[in-house]
Amino acid sequence: MKFVAAAILSALVVWASPAPGLGQSAGIKVIVNGVDVPLTAPAVMANGQVMAPISGLFEPMGAIAAFYEVDRSIVVTNRLRATVRMRVGETAFQVNTQSRVLPAAPQLLNGQVFVPAQVIFSALGAWTKFEEAERTLFVSSQITGVAAQVRDGILQVKVSTTGPVQTETRVLSNPDRLVVDFLHAALRTQARELSVQDAGVQRIRTAQFQIKPYISRMVFDLLAPVEIRVTSDSATYLVTLEIAPKLAASGSPPPAPDTPAGSGALKVMGVTFEPNGPAGRVVIDATGGMEYKIREFVFPDRLAIDIARAVFIPVKQELAFEHPSVLTVRAAQFTARPPVTRIVVTLKRKMNFVISQSGGRLLIDINAQMVGRGHLVAIDPGHGGRDPGAIGPGGLRESDIVLDIALQVRDLLRQDGIRVMMIRETDATVELLDRPRLAREAGATIYASIHANANGRATVNGSETYYLTPQSLALAQMIQDELGVVLGLPSRGIKTASFLVLRDTGIPSVLVETAFISNAVEEARLSDIGFRQRLSRAIHRGITRFLAIYPAPAAP
């Protein structure tokens, strides 16, 4: 980018020590939906409230937070379109259109924005509790509704939640039942029993199984062996369970699987993975029917399948491969007494899955509901052709450097199964007015323009990201966060500017200034292929973080 005016935003007010009313409290942790949030600065206490930095704080609840430097306001939103607005130093805040009062005002502390975490999480629909003895704030999603119906021989159970939940599914014998645990989820519906008498299910029992950590349990008393499909709606947090009788090849229900109890341990012979485009199937072969449970974990997303009273004959097995959805499949003897075999499937992101069993074969179909499904990301390498952009003191051209970075971002997104369009893929001239137009006409839902910065003072350095509209703020902040983590460069933060490419797209749009090509040290770093790879990974990570939260527009 050409030289930029130095002062666009008002200066931040930063305390070198805790602001009045804030007390340092070493060792305070925030655990959200089972995730020990890696706070970017130690949490502090104010008026009995845990004050925590906003960066990354709300993402395990499926929400994003951003700070507007211009008017010192903070906005937190989630996929259900709940919006919390507040300002630094003020106790008045809004939840959607309702005005409320905070017990402690947001503060700027050593350059980071701190907010009263319990109140904000509660406004987003979460259950919260601060355990003084453990110095830990616990936050969980809540289950607010359960609806069940049988249609075409399939029992469909819809579970409404206020945030992301993980499930643990297991089949138990004597009596036969299917158990689905919703981990780190507080039940806010009346515990009840529901008679079904169809689809292989006698009845459903729902209750709060555990309160530390919170686990809500749903038990399906079975009339026959069943298979279950677990799906999660990325836009609404709705979890859908579909239960259907498992039919044998002859068309009649198979006999209940043999369990290893009383007849020695079951032998698990091995694990294979069968790719199918962006989807895939994990196949577990054993000497008989398996009693199992399957559990979801996050950060990173993975499935863990535990097979009870089972010996893993290969002792240890690890499958690593190139796949759009699955990173690795690992299997090993988890415990010896009692013998438990564990298979861990590490995913690139949360996936829907289907579990079925046929004799001595357990099948887990990963059906690859992509985070970026429905999105089209427009990547715009700045300048090009007859416009080389800024040129460094050593002769490095901005247009060449940002094209290489942009192409790497494209490849990383495509590996994730996310659709990408490039404004240019060669050293071609694309007029400035045409860049947002091309993105609009292609149906892009996200726009990222990539540049290298320049300044008349050769000592100026660092990275910064520009945005203009409120819908673009979170995208800018996530990319800038990642740049700061990966590069080790000074972060110049996120800023607003009325650049044409940010004005005329109508979608979340950012302009990323990766480093100062006018600075001899940063020019040298930009010329290094490894540094450009780290830049591209940081931008890719920021975009995918945003896509995990921001729903794609509904298809027309």
Active site residues: 513
What pairs with residue 31 in β-bridges?
Answer: 36, 138
Query: What is the SS3 assignment for 85?
Result: strand
Give the pairing type, strands 185-187 and 136-151.
parallel
Rounded CA gap, 399 and 420, in Å?
A: 20
First to last CA, the chain: 37
Rounded CA gap, 18 and 114, in Å?
A: 11
Rounded CA gap, 522 and 507, in Å?
A: 31
Query: Would you tell me how many other CB atoms lie within 10 Å of the CB of residue 411?
Result: 13
DSSP conformational letter for 2 = -
Quick check: 241 and 226 in contact, CB under 8 A? no
Give the rounded distance of the alpha carbon of 16 from its chain centre.
33
Q: List the strands of the sheet with 302-308, edge to edge.
A: 192-198, 201-211, 214-222, 177-183, 166-172, 292-297, 302-308, 339-347, 326-336, 316-320
How many CA atoms, within 13 angstroms, populate the side-chain half-sphere of residue 489?
28
The tokens for 374 are 């429905």
Quick check: 25 and 45 in contact, CB under 8 A? yes
Cis peptide before 175 (omega within 30 of 0): yes
DSSP letters, 355-385, are: EEEETTEEEEEE----TTTT-EEEEEE--BT
Rounded CA gap, 166 and 214, in Å?
A: 12
DSSP conformational letter for 387 = B
Helix-helix angle 529-549:398-415, to 10 degrees = 50
Give the rounded distance of the alpha carbon of 87 from its chain centre.
26
Tell me the residue type at 534: R
Quick check: 328 and 245 in contact, CB under 8 A? no
DSSP conformational letter for 62 = T
DSSP conformational letter for 157 = E
DSSP letters, 184-243, are: TEEE-S--EEEEEEETTEEEEEEEEEEETTEEEEEEEEESS-EEEEEEE-TTT--EEEEE
Query: Would you tell me how many other CB atoms lie within 10 Å of the CB of residue 229?
Result: 18
